């Protein structure tokens, strides 16, 4: 899994590297600008064909009659703008015609940005952003957004028309180079301006109550992706994401950054633990050895999951979950059904087993079998049945997934549920269920921010996990998973990993089953939730359009086989 950083964490890492003497701010800015230019040419190789040659002054000398490529670079008042001046200089050095616009006063630029501004004005002009006609954006090959990056913490009404124009160019037209009225590639430096790097939110202006942010076809981030790249509007606005290495891996600077995370902690091992918990991870591809079964084992070696169903006519969701648990590798899966549904379920299953669970007393008797080591309650269960059986299940302290009705059943008194939960539990709410269990947290998350850093889905899930005392998986295209210690990861189904086909009835039930199956196999709750969420998206991507929930468990073997290729 790769790290995702907040704006403050990225600044701290850069500052630690500078303080350690490993690198200067100017060197980092030069590397960043060079990384942007290289990423542009990697993404659109046709733009890398030089049409002119830089002379001694840095100005291009045309080497053929072909018209030079044209770029417009929008620079802001901070170090993001400094990166933009480097980009402008390097593009002009490759024979491009480059026009630069500055938002703010050049005299107030930070020292490193000011230095690169001075280098640029030796070879090119800088105009005020107010002079930028939006049509200029249509008449270039590349439009570079180096206005604010991760530094913006408020809405900017005066840039709303500019941002809307950029949104239109991204949403309405494909990139197409080479005409008088071209369709430029829009490139954001670090993150599209107006998007909160910590939350993916767009900032609302305090007076006009509108949200504004730019958009891009390509976003180049430095060192690590930021949390805002994969949450909320950030995932929609950033286009394709490339992460550029700018040389911040030195052990000395990383140690200094870790110490800055918690200066009150003296022990180095404890420091690393604190620092690691503060980071958000993006769930990545699973290594085959992590999910494969042992060869010297039998069915009970891989666990026994019990999935509890609802009454007659309400068993489909639990059967989907059970199928998911079986396919993900649980050695045995049993459906616990009320008497009214026993015949219905018996007619529908083959590899699954069946036990009559009429009430809490009967569930307690079934759970006398110590080989049952994972439970799943909620899918199609019904609220009355959930209120009776959830306390019995949780009292056994077995690994337990609570979904759907097992969550909604306690909406009027979530504290009752929290008192019963334990560290082996995983809650899997969607947005509506989350709001019922954690109404105050959901209200904070729903507030439209006017200032940053904005409260994020990561913040909300961490707070919910701490309150519940167990792992919380907050579902969505940007699924966030957190445990009570603060560890947090994001499984993002966005851009190239988008899986819109998961928006279908029953897909969440299968996810609950995947988690239960992995818990039965002995996975820790956090690992089970992360692995299941990743497999869930990969199954949807492998199947594609036309997906229904039943397809998810059936395509899983293909996904698992592909991990070894």
125 is in an annotated binding site: no
CA distances from 314 to 310, 348, 405 (A): 5, 13, 12
Are the CB atoms for 373 and 303 separated by under 8 Å? yes
| pLDDT over threshold 60, residue 290 | yes
- Find tokens 């468990």 and name the residue: 553
What would the mean pLDDT of 422-426 be, rounded to a whole number? 99
d(CA 314, CA 202) in angstroms, rounded, equals: 41
For the record, the structure tokens of 275 come out as 């620092």
145 is in an annotated binding site: yes
368 is in an annotated binding site: no
303 is in an annotated binding site: no
64 is in an annotated binding site: no
d(CA 46, CA 60) in angstroms, rounded, equals: 19
80 is in an annotated binding site: yes
Nearest partner of 249 among 16, 6, 5, 488, judged by Cα: 16
Q: Exposure of 273 by Cβ count < 10 A (0-12 exposed, 13-18 middle, 19+ buried)?
A: middle
d(CA 310, CA 378) in angstroms, rounded, equals: 8
Q: Encode pLDDT of 493-516 as tens digits.
A: 998 899 999 999 999 999 999 999
d(CA 2, CA 112) in angstroms, rounded, equals: 29
What share of the chain has pLDDT > 70, as a percent?
90
522 is in an annotated binding site: no
What would the mean pLDDT of 408-433 be, rounded to a whole number? 98
Q: Encode pLDDT of 183-235 as tens digits.
A: 899 999 999 999 999 999 988 766 555 567 899 999 999 999 999 999 999 99
Between vectors from CA 53 to CA 51 and to CA 58, what angle results, nearest 5°? 130
d(CA 258, CA 274) in angstroms, rounded, equals: 8
d(CA 4, CA 283) in angstroms, rounded, equals: 10
What contacts 102, CB < 8 A, 6 or more positions away? 75, 76, 77, 81, 117, 126, 127, 128, 129
Tell me 29's DSSP state: H
What was the pLDDT predicted at 288? 82
What was the pLDDT predicted at 289? 81
The model's pTM: 0.91
What was the pLDDT predicted at 98? 97
What was the pLDDT predicted at 62? 46
479 is in an annotated binding site: yes
478 is in an annotated binding site: yes
Nearest partner of 559 among 294, 315, 285, 369, judged by Cα: 285
**E runs forming strands in 284-348:** 304-308, 332-337
What was the pLDDT predicted at 565? 75
CA trace torsion 202, 203, 204, 205 (10° rounding): -140
Q: Encode pLDDT of 355-412 as tens digits.
A: 999 999 999 999 999 999 999 999 999 999 999 999 999 999 999 999 999 999 999 9
For the record, the structure tokens of 193 come out as 């301006």
79 is in an annotated binding site: yes
For the record, the structure tokens of 98 come out as 């480059």
Half-sphere exposure of 268 (CA within 13 A, CB side): 3
Nearest partner of 516 among 344, 334, 282, judged by Cα: 334
| pLDDT over threshold 50, residue 48 | yes
Q: Which residues pair with 5 in a beta bridge?
A: 226
d(CA 262, CA 396) in angstroms, rounded, equals: 38
Helix, strand, or coil (residue 395)? helix
Tell me 47's DSSP state: G
Question: Could you check whether the bond before residue 455 is cis, i.e. omega within 30 degrees of 0?
Answer: no
**What is the residue-wise DSSP string for 119-170?**
HHHTTS-EEEGGG--HHHHHTSSEEEEES-GGG--B--GGGHHHHHHHHHHH
d(CA 542, CA 550) in angstroms, rounded, equals: 14
| pLDDT over threshold 90, residue 445 | yes
313 is in an annotated binding site: no
6 is in an annotated binding site: no
509 is in an annotated binding site: yes
245 is in an annotated binding site: no
210 is in an annotated binding site: no
Instruction: Give me the domains of the chain, ranges plus CATH numbers.
Output: 26-46+67-248 (3.40.50.10260), 301-428+497-564 (3.40.1190.20)
For the record, the structure tokens of 487 come out as 């560890």
Are the CB atoms for 521 and 330 separated by under 8 Å? yes
Q: Encode pLDDT of 141-173 as tens digits.
A: 999 999 998 887 787 778 888 888 888 889 888
Burial 332-342 (b: 16+ CB within 10 A, else e): bbbbbbbeebb
Nearest partner of 237 among 254, 222, 219, judged by Cα: 219
| pLDDT over threshold 70, residue 63 | no
81 is in an annotated binding site: yes
67 is in an annotated binding site: no
Q: How far is CA 435 from the centre of its chain?
A: 20
33 is in an annotated binding site: no
CB atoms within 10 A of CB 18: 17
């Amino acid at each position: 899994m790769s790290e995702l950083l907040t704006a403050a964490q990225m600044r701290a890492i850069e500052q630690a590297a500078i303080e350690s003497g490993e690198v200067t701010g100017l060197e980092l800015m030069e590397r960043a600008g060079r990384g942007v230019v290289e990423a542009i040419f990697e993404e659109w190789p046709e733009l890398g064909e030089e049409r002119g040659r830089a002379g001694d002054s840095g100005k291009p000398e045309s080497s053929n009659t072909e018209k030079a490529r044209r770029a417009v670079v929008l620079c802001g008042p901070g170090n993001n703008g400094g990166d933009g001046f480097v980009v402008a200089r390097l593009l002009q050095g490759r024979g491009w015609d480059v026009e630069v616009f500055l938002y703010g006063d050049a005299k107030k630029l930070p020292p490193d940005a000011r230095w690169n501004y001075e280098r640029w004005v030796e070879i090119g002009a800088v105009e005020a952003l107010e002079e930028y006609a939006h049509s200029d954006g249509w008449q270039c090959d590349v439009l570079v957004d180096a206005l604010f990056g991760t530094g913006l913490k408020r809405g900017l009404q005066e840039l709303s028309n500019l941002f809307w124009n950029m949104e239109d160019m991204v949403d309405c037209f494909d990139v197409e180079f080479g005409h008088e009225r071209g369709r430029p590639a829009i490139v954001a430096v670090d993150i599209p301006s107006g998007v909160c790097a910590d939350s993916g939110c767009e900032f609302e202006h305090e007076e006009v109550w509108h949200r504004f942010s730019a958009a891009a076809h390509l976003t180049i981030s430095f060192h690590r992706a930021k949390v805002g790249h994969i949450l909320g509007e950030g995932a929609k606005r950033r286009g394709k994401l490339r992460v550029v290495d700018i040389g911040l891996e030195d052990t000395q600077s990383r140690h200094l950054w870790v110490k800055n995370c918690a200066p009150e902690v003296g022990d180095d091992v404890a420091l690393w633990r604190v620092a690691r918990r503060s980071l958000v991870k993006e769930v990545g591809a699973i290594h085959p050895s992590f999910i494969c079964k042992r060869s010297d084992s039998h069915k009970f070696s891989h666990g026994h999951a019990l999935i509890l169903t609802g009454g007659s006519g309400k068993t489909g969701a639990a059967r989907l979950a059970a199928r998911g648990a079986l396919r993900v590798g649980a050695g045995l899966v049993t459906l616990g059904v009320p008497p009214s549904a026993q015949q219905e379920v018996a007619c529908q299953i083959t590899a699954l087993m069946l036990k009559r669970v009429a009430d809490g007393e009967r569930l307690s008797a079934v759970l006398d079998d110590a080989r049952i080591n994972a439970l799943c309650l909620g899918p199609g269960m019904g609220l009355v049945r959930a209120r009776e059986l959830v306390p019995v299940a949780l009292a056994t302290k077995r690994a337990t997934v609570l979904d759907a009705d097992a969550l909604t059943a306690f909406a009027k008194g979530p504290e009752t549920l929290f008192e019963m939960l334990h560290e082996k539990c995983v809650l899997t709410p969607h947005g509506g269920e989350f709001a019922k269990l954690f109404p105050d947290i959901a209200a904070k998350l729903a507030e439209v921010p006017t200032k940053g850093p904005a409260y994020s889905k990561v913040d909300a899930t961490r707070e919910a996990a701490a309150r519940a005392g167990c792992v919380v998986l907050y579902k969505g295209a940007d699924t966030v998973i957190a445990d009570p210690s603060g560890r947090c990861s994001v499984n993002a189904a966005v851009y190239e990993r988008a899986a819109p086909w998961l928006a279908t009835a029953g897909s969440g039930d299968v996810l609950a089953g995947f988690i239960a199956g992995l818990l039965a196999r002995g996975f820790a709750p956090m690992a089970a939730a992360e692995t299941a969420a990743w497999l869930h998206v990969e199954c949807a991507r492998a199947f594609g359009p036309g997906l229904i929930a039943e397809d998810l468990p059936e395509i899983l073997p293909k996904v698992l086989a592909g991990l070894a290729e």
